[in-house]
Amino acid sequence: MPDGHSSSDRAPRVRIAPSPTGDPHVGTAYIALFNRAFANAEGGKFLLRIDDTDRSRYQADSEAQIFESLRWLGLSWDEGPDVGGECGPYRQSERLEIYRQKAEQLLESGAAYRCFCTPERMAELREQQKAAKQDPGYDGHCRDLPQSTIDERLSAGTTHIVRLRVPDTGQTIVHDELRDPIVFENERIDDQVLVKSDGFPTYHLANCVDDCAMGVTHVIRAEEWITSAPKHVLLYQALGEPLPKFFHVPLLRNADKSKISKRKNPVSLIWYRDQGYLPEALLNYLATLGWRSSDEREFFDYDFFQSNFRPADISLGGPVFDLEKLGWLNGMHIRALDPSDLRARLERDGFLSGVSEDGLRAIFPLVSERLHLLSDFVQLTSWYFGEPDEYNAEDLLVKKRTPEETRETLDQAEAAFAGFDAYDSESVEAFLEQCRVEWGLKKPHLFMPIRFALTGRRETPPVNDVIAVLGRERVVARLHAAKNKFC
């Protein structure tokens, strides 16, 4: 319960706090996965809080996309803007009054102070510090303004911000569950802005206040937050709140090891869905980036992950995101689906427009093991739902066979299948073999021309299956058309 005394021996409460500033990010899913699995395994709660305190980067449709993407992945939340919960509201822009009160409290206790420095002065300061090769940071200009000056400026309505008063001596230690204690010298910690001049809180204030108010017990977040963690520790202390347990998870990386980015890697969850990645495959892959079960298996479902995952087991090397391996896992998961399930996925993700039920049932077995992405389905089955690919007479030629011989074979095949009526895989296979022996042909010399005639391509399911699924009418017509390529 969010009573201000949450401790880790009670049911954990964890959260993710994405910003609605663009496409839903794969890194958000990565962190969400760890948080949700941990909370659910421990009988705790997983909360979703929208961190929309930056008005300039706010994108109206982003929030809905975050919801949709996370739901697509199955990473649902127990409390959040759209599902409610006892600690709402869960959108930070709707909690301004709370932050205002907390800021006031910090001001009164002296843990924070009002700063009237203009952006111009700050820019100038930065220039000077840069020129003097000093560390950039606030110089404390407004740290100890006399009360009379403050009152004067306030009554004049001078715009200002609120900063955290960081002690200039001593150290702040961040206890991260995955690492040794991290020691920061207070003199190197900047007086962090807590309230911006537009009255909105910064991430630092809003997050600490909310995590306290929402009873968050474990903060599992990206490693990029380590440097600001001491500021958060100081804030918790100033607020008089107990510290959560911190787990800073390594960042996903591009192939060059830099932090994963849009320019070097697909990062939008929408992209993964549109490409035909299965949610369980993406989740499975993300889970293997930094975690391994004791039996080292790499192919598993969410339930397995949830019941075996321990946050403390997360490894610390920054994992390179490898689409190649994700693709392998995706194929594995596709092959693990039963036909009706696979059909449902294809349908849901829009890869099945105008395809009949019967047609699907027939073609499924032939392509399921050839799919790496759901989107492959369209190309893999175009010869079945449509016409063969365009091809030339030369394409029908198997090495060392002349056009005359090939035409003869196609002609024989056309006649044979016109008079054949058992269009099932086994019967066709037997019939083909019978013809082959009768006509004295090597397998490739018979199968390849037929394959090409029926599909217009070299790589297809077994020819007998293609024939069976196409049926007499289409088989005969396509063999006929192929034969005529030589006229």
* DSSP bridge partners of 91: 50
Q: Give the number of other CB atoms < 10 A from CB of residue 246.
A: 21
Residues 80-109 contacting RNA, CB under 7 A: none
From the CB of 56, what's the least distance to RNA, in Å? 7
Identify the H or E element spanning 15: strand 13-16
Q: How far is the CB of 258 from RNA (least distance, A)?
A: 4
Q: How far is the CB of 487 from RNA (least distance, A)?
A: 26
Looking only at residues 403 through 432 of this chain, which bind RNA when binding is defined by CB under 7 A? 429
Cα 373 to Cα 330: distance, rounded to the nearest angstrom: 7
Q: What residues contact 82, with CB distance under 8 A and at least 6 apart?
A: 67
Judged by CB under 7 A, does residue 28 bind RNA? no
Among 36, 165, 451, 483, binds RNA (CB under 7 A): 451
Residue 194 host element (H or E):
strand 193-195
Copy the structure tokens of residue 25: 């990010």
Q: Please select the residue that binds RNA; options are 12, 311, 319, 449, rule is CB under 7 A.
A: 319
Per CB under 7 A, the segment of 4-12, 148-156, 320-328, 401-409 that binds RNA is 320-328
Tokens 């689906």 map to which residue?
A: 337
Crossing angle for the helix pair 203-213 and 96-109, nearest 10 degrees?
100
Assigned token pair, 359: 């047609």
**Residue 455 phi, psi (nearest 5):** -125, -20
**Residue 399 CB, nearest distance to RNA (Å)?**
12
Active site positions, annotated? 262
Q: Is 224 in the site for RNA (CB under 7 A)?
A: yes
We find the least distance from the C-beta atom of residue 88 to RNA, in angstroms, to be 18
Least distance in angstroms from the C-beta of 1 to RNA: 25
Q: Give residues with Cβ within 8 angstroms of 305, minimum separation 6.
A: 33, 37, 283, 284, 287, 291
Nearer to RNA, 239 or 289 (CB): 289
117-146 residues near RNA, rule: CB under 7 A: 117-119, 122, 126, 133, 135-138
Q: How many helices (H) and strands (E) does the chain have?
A: 20, 9
**CB neighbourhood size of 232 (10 A):** 24
CB contact at 8 A, 208 and 235: yes
Structure tokens at 23: 């496409």
Q: Is there binding between residue 219 and RNA (CB under 7 A)?
A: no
Site string for RNA, 363-402 (x = CB under 7 A): ------xx--------------------------------
Q: How many CB atoms lie within 10 A of CB 61?
A: 10
Nearer to RNA, 10 or 90 (CB): 90
Binding RNA (rule: CB under 7 A), the pick from 316, 344, 422, 430 is 316
Kindly indicate which of the ranges 40-48, 82-90, 147-155, 255-263 contains the residues binding RNA, using the contact rule CB under 7 A. Answer: 255-263
CB nearer to RNA: give 10 or 126. Answer: 126
Specify the residue, 203 or 351, whose C-beta has the smaller distance to RNA. Answer: 203
Residue 290 is a binding residue for RNA (CB under 7 A): yes
